[in-house]
Amino acid sequence: MLKGILAKKVGMTQILFEGRVEPVTVLQAGPCVVTQIKTKDIDGYNAVQVGFIEKKKNVNKAKAGHFKKASVTPKLFLREFRVEDASKFQLGQTFTADVFAINDYLNATGPDKGRGFQGVVKRFGFKGGPGSHGSNFHRAPGGIGGRVRVAGHIWKGRRMPGHMGMETKTALNLQVLLVDKDENIILVKGSVPGSNSTMLVLKASKSSVRLIGRDEKRKAEESARLAMIAAKEKAEKEKKKTPVKPAGGKK
């Protein structure tokens, strides 16, 4: 089974999970189809190319031939997943949201929100100057080192105003709280990069085994704690029911 899938961010909401209200992101995960299989003998590595969302126009001849070879309709979003054995997959094979299960952990990769051209205060968190009247230095970057080495020279990497956002980001170790195979919906705890309708790549977390073991340990500790509290309350009730003998004995 391919431990990864392509998805589209639908939005955020909240659900009741194990007695707690959790913020979740709704992801439309699949159905995805295999459009190309790469092997180590031919391509130098083993991988599976997967496509998501049908593309109805602006498909050139090269792409049309590529999809026709796989006997699938043209897809809008294509990504590769490295696999150990590519012979286990077939062209046109379909993957749905059930590649993940409840309590699995995954990583979501995609472009974050674009915020256009921004200054250094918003882009990098610069403090800026005084905000009172009379100040001519409010949100400017300050000195940029024009005479450090050569007149007009600016060091490479200087933080300055510029385009902000639309960078590839990865949200790590997101817990899967619900999987709906029929509707291809996955709910993950927390937020993922991008705005609504952003295309994302979901992959199984490398720390999944460790995190699942941690959750099971916490559940066992919580169950033991609740059992101890219940036993203590029961003992106190039994103690109250027991009649108290009068002091001094019989007369």
Q: What is the mean pLDDT of residues 207-228?
A: 90
Whether residue 199 has pLDDT greater than 90: yes
Contacts of 194 (CB under 8 A, 6+ apart): 9, 110, 111, 112, 113, 200
Average pLDDT of the chain is: 89
In percent, the amount of the chain with pLDDT more than 90 equals 61
Give tens-digit pLDDT for 100-132: 999 999 999 999 999 999 999 999 999 988 988
pTM greater than 0.85 (yes/no): no
| Long-range pairs of 28-31 with CB within 8 A, sequence gap ≥ 24 | 28/184, 28/185, 29/5, 29/96, 29/97, 29/99, 29/100, 29/184, 29/185, 29/186, 29/202, 30/5, 30/6, 30/94, 30/95, 30/96, 30/97, 30/99, 30/184, 31/94, 31/95, 31/96, 31/184
Give tens-digit pLDDT for 33-63: 999 999 999 989 999 999 999 998 889 999 9
In three-state secondary structure terms, 48 is strand
Give the residue carrying structure tokens 């940029």.
144
Give tens-digit pLDDT for 69-103: 999 999 999 999 999 888 889 999 999 998 999 99
Bridge partners of 6, per DSSP, are 201
Whether residue 244 has pLDDT greater than 70: no
pLDDT value of position 245:
66
Q: What is the mean pLDDT of residues 12-33?
A: 92
Q: What is the mean pLDDT of residues 240-249?
A: 67
Q: Quick one: tokens of 117?
A: 């051209």
